[in-house]
Each structure stands twice: as C-alpha cells, then as structure tokens.
C-alpha cells in the first residue's frame, strides 16, 4: 500500500512537473509571439472606438474595446489585428476583399458601404470616404508624437535626399522614413501610421501631380522642418507650367510657419519662393554665398570626393546633382543638431533601386536610373555619364505626364542628347517618337518601338565592351523589363 501511495505521489509530481513545463513553454511562446508582433508591426495600436472617432466614422457590429495593431490597405498582406482600409481604385474595389481580410485576422475594416455579400456581422467603421478617413486617422495619430518630423518635396532629388538624410540619422537613432516611393495621399498616411515610440526622427517625402496635394500632405505631416530640392518640368500635365509647379511645391511653406525651411540655393525658383517664408531659411549648394557650401574635389566612376567646412568625404553616387542631394541631407542633419563628423561616413550607403544604380553586363557599364524621369533629370543623368570613358548609349522610356508640352520637350531633348555625347538611342514608348526622330535628324543612330524584348535584342546587337549605357524613363515605361530581358538572354 505504501508503495502504491508513493507511486501515486510520484505520478502526481510528474504530472505537475509536466504541467509546469508545458505552462512555461506556452507562456514563453505567447511572449515570443507578442514580441514578434511588436517587432513586425511597430505602428499604430489603438482601440476601434478611438479609430472611429479620429476618422469621424460610425462603428457597426463592433465591440468598441477591440484593439487594432497596424493598418493595411491590401487584404493579401493582412497581419493578425490589422485594421483593413477598403480603398477603391480604377480597376479594383477593396470592399470586394473584406472576407479575405477578416479570414486573415483583421480586427476591423473601414468601409464607405456595407456589401450585401458579407457572410457575417464583422466589426466595421462606416465612413463617407475611405481615403479621407485614412488621412484623418494618420493626422490624429501623428499628433501623439513630439519627435522632429522632416517633410521634403521637389521635382527632382527628393527620394535620394530622403535616403541620404535617413542614413545619417539612423546611425545613432531610430528613424521612420518614407517606405519606397509611398509619397502620395495614400502612402504618406500609411507611413505616418508606422510611427512608434521607438522613433526619434521621421523623414517623409511628398510627391504631387496636381495642385493642392502638397498642402493636404503637409497638413497631415505637420512638419518641424521642410526641404525643397528643386523645381523642374515634371508633371506638367497636372501643373500646366513651371509656375504651376512652383505654386504646388510651395504649398509646403505656409505649414512651416516660423520653423526652418532648407532649400537648394542654386535654384532661382526656390530662392524666389523662399521669400514668402516667415521662419528660418537655410541654403545649400556649391556657391560661396550659401549657408552650407560644398565643393567637388574629384569625380571617379564610383562617385565623388566632396568637401564641406574643410572636411572631405567620399559619396558613392555619381553626378553633381547627387552631390547636391548629399549637401541637402548634411545641412538638414546639422540643423537637427548632429555633428559634421556624424554626417561624413557613407561607406555602407546603397542608393535606392533604379536610381543611378550601377551594373555590369558583357563588359559594358550600365546605369539604371529608371525609377522615374522628367526632362531635367534626364539632362542631369546624361551630363553625369558624359565624363566617363566609353561609347554612350541611352535607353529611353517615354517621359510621361508632360501634357501638351510632351511633343516639344521630347523633340528638344532628342537633339540635346546627341550634342551632349549620346551616340546611340533606343527609345521605348509612343510618346518618345519625337525624341527618336530629332535624335536621328541631328546625326545619331536610333531605334524606336514598343516591345521590351525586341528592344533588348536590339541593344544586345549594339553592345560592345567598354560601352556606357544609361537607362532613363518614367515609372510607367518600366524599363527594367529590358534589363531583365538582357539577363534572361545571358542565362539562356
């Protein structure tokens, strides 16, 4: 009997021990999941009730205490606890994917109507306009943070300047920066909603193709410091003229009030616009009268040696315009209180994809600068490769959103390109035909078409070791298709 009791006690002890181990294992797993969740999301964490109030919406079928962890506009990318925003596009409607979003773990969804096809009474926030509701959510969420927020815009250089500045700041602190090219009325709110208590700075890019957009985005961001990089012939279809571009980009200035505005002091348009600013004005560039003056000491095929305040550094980016972008980033970092020493190490900096990205193929050097383009950025890219040794080939995708100016500008650029060292031009897209015609008329050899694979074959037939090949075009031209076709040819 004693043996039996001992056995029972031993068995009970073993069961308790196993239960404790399992409990601890489960507890550790829960903690790990929570940590993973926080690492993964690092963004807005509020109640559904609070979200509805901020968005001026009405809760439907919802427990107001339900928490949301992050926001998503794509049902395919929903994480557990996300608030799904049902946006509407030209070819799709986010309301069609509500079931998918909830099946993947969405805590709630923002809608402008309740689809009859919903199988359950899911927690919803009903609003008049889901895009505007997203903006209001981001605007109210941003007000919860007191960190320095930098907003930047311009016709050219804003993305690279953003990346350069974020690189400097992130060496010592946690930085929120614009994800990819999320710089419009949808992307900017989504970036703001990624703010967390861990962040010490935010660097947010604003793009626009019509008037009023920068004004709206600035009202969401509430910047503590603004940067204007340049004014050029971009998005003329929406702005109408250079004056329209100036007016649109200048919409940032009133939102700075008496705060700091930093501008490229070599741009006469920006100098004129800055006269309206009531706060501190800081200028940068290569001219001696500017606040932050730099000097290019030496250029190499890998980048430029630059001097500022008697200190020199190597920037692994080609082109005077990229050196100018670096000066903009450095001057901003100095204004934010960093030391010059903090701003000069670029050894681990990598340029954004398809922005003067250097590649090698069959003995030729390629510069993939085809994330976006306008007349000014095309000219700057051609001027950059002009000093390099080798035959110059331009692969041009149509420059889009130029409106009634398109034919004239393409024609002028075709002639200009020939007289600035381009020997061969491969032009893809119907809008580019005036460029092709003017280039050939000036004396260059060219190819024109609309098929990326045929363009790739033509380029391959031209290619010789030592050639310098520049890819430049608007995002809609998707010139990377030609590069991918080249690589597939090599693989075959």
Kindly report, residue by residue over 286-320, the tens digit of the pLDDT: 999 999 999 999 998 889 999 999 999 999 999 99
Exposed (0-12), middle (13-18) or buried (19+): which is 331, by Cβ within 10 Å?
A: buried
Give the contacts of 451 (CB within 8 A, at least 6 positions apart). Answer: none
- Report which DSSP code applies to 155: S
Closest to 273 (Cα-Cα) out of 324, 228, 212? 228
Which percentage of the chain shows pLDDT scores above 70?
91
Which pLDDT belongs to residue 491? 53
Please give the average per-residue pLDDT across 80-88, as a whole number.
Answer: 97
How far from the centroid of its chain's Cα atoms is residue 463's Cα? 32
Which pLDDT belongs to residue 114? 94
Q: How do 83-85 and 108-111 pair as beta strands?
A: parallel
Which pLDDT belongs to residue 233? 86
How many residues are there in the chain?
Answer: 492
Confidence of residue 249 (pLDDT cuts 50, 70, 90): very high
Confidence of residue 353 (pLDDT cuts 50, 70, 90): confident
Residue with tokens 């009030």: 257
Spatial contact of 325 and 285, defined as CB atoms under 8 Å apart: no
Spatial contact of 489 and 460, defined as CB atoms under 8 Å apart: yes
pLDDT of 476 above 80: yes
| Neighbouring-strand partners of residue 296 | 306
The helix/strand/coil state of 3 is helix
Q: What tokens appear for 409 in the block?
A: 């500008």
Between CA 123 and CA 107 the distance in angstroms is 7
Closest to 348 (Cα-Cα) out of 104, 100, 92, 171? 171
pLDDT of 14 above 60: no
Between CA 116 and CA 114 the distance in angstroms is 6
pTM for the predicted model, two decimal places: 0.86
The helix/strand/coil state of 281 is strand
pLDDT of 404 above 60: yes
* Secondary element (H or E) of residue 469: strand 468-472
- The vertex-247 CA angle with 245 and 251, nearest 5°, equals 115
Query: What is the tens place of the pLDDT at every residue in 119-152?
Result: 899 999 999 999 999 999 999 999 999 999 999 9
Confidence of residue 253 (pLDDT cuts 50, 70, 90): very high
Structural domains in the chain, CATH included, are 45-129 (3.40.1390.10), 145-343 (3.40.1190.10), 357-491 (3.90.190.20)
Which pLDDT belongs to residue 351? 82
Which pLDDT belongs to residue 234? 82
Distances (CA, A) of 120 to 102, 104, 115: 10, 15, 11
């Amino acid at each position: 009997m004693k043996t039996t009791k001992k056995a029972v006690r031993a068995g009970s002890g073993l069961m308790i021990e196993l239960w404790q181990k399992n409990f601890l294992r489960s507890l550790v797993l829960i903690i790990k999941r929570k940590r993973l969740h926080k690492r993964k999301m690092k963004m807005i964490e509020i109640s559904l009730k609070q979200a509805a109030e901020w968005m001026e919406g009405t809760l439907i079928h919802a427990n107001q205490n339900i928490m949301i962890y992050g926001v998503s506009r794509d049902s395919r990318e929903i994480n557990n606890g996300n608030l799904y925003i049902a946006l509407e596009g030209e070819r799709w409607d986010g309301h069609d994917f509500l079931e998918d979003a909830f099946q993947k773990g969405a805590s709630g969804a923002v809608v402008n109507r309740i689809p009859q096809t919903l199988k359950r009474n899911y927690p919803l926030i009903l609003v008049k306009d889901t895009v505007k509701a997203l903006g209001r959510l981001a605007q109210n969420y941003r007000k919860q943070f007191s960190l320095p927020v930098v907003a930047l815009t311009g016709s050219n250089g804003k993305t690279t300047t953003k990346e350069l500045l974020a690189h400097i700041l992130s060496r010592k602190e946690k930085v929120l920066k614009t994800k990819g090219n999320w710089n419009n009325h949808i992307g900017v709110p989504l970036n703001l909603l990624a703010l967390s208590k861990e962040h010490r700075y935010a660097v947010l890019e604003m793009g626009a193709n019509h008037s009023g957009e920068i004004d709206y985005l600035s009202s969401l961001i509430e910047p503590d410091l603004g940067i204007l990089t340049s004014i050029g012939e971009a998005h003329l279809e929406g702005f109408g003229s250079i004056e329209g571009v100036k007016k649109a980009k200048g919409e940032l200035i009133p939102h700075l009030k008496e705060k700091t505005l930093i501008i490229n002091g070599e741009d006469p348009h920006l100098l004129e616009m800055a006269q309206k600013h009531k706060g501190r004005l800081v200028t940068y560039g290569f001219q001696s009268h500017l606040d932050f003056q730099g000097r290019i000491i030496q250029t190499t095929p890998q980048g430029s040696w630059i001097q500022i305040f008697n200190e020199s550094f190597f920037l692994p980016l080609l082109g005077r315009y990229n050196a100018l972008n670096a000066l903009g980033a450095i001057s901003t970092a100095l204004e934010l209180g960093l030391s010059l020493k903090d701003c000069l190490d670029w050894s681990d900096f990598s340029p954004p994809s398809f922005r003067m990205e250097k590649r090698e193929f069959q003995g030729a050097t390629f510069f993939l600068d085809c994330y976006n383009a306008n007349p000014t950025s095309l000219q700057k890219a051609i001027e950059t490769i002009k000093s390099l040794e080798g035959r110059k080939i331009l692969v041009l995708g149509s420059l889009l959103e130029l409106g009634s100016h398109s034919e004239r500008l393409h024609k002028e650029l075709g002639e200009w390109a020939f007289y600035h060292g381009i020997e061969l031009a491969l032009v893809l897209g119907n809008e580019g035909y005036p460029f092709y015609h003017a280039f050939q008329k000036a004396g260059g050899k060219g190819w024109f078409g609309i098929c990326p694979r045929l363009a790739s074959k033509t380029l391959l037939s031209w290619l010789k070791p030592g050639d310098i090949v520049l890819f430049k075009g608007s995002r809609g031209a998707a010139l990377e298709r030609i590069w991918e076709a080249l690589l597939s040819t090599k693989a075959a």
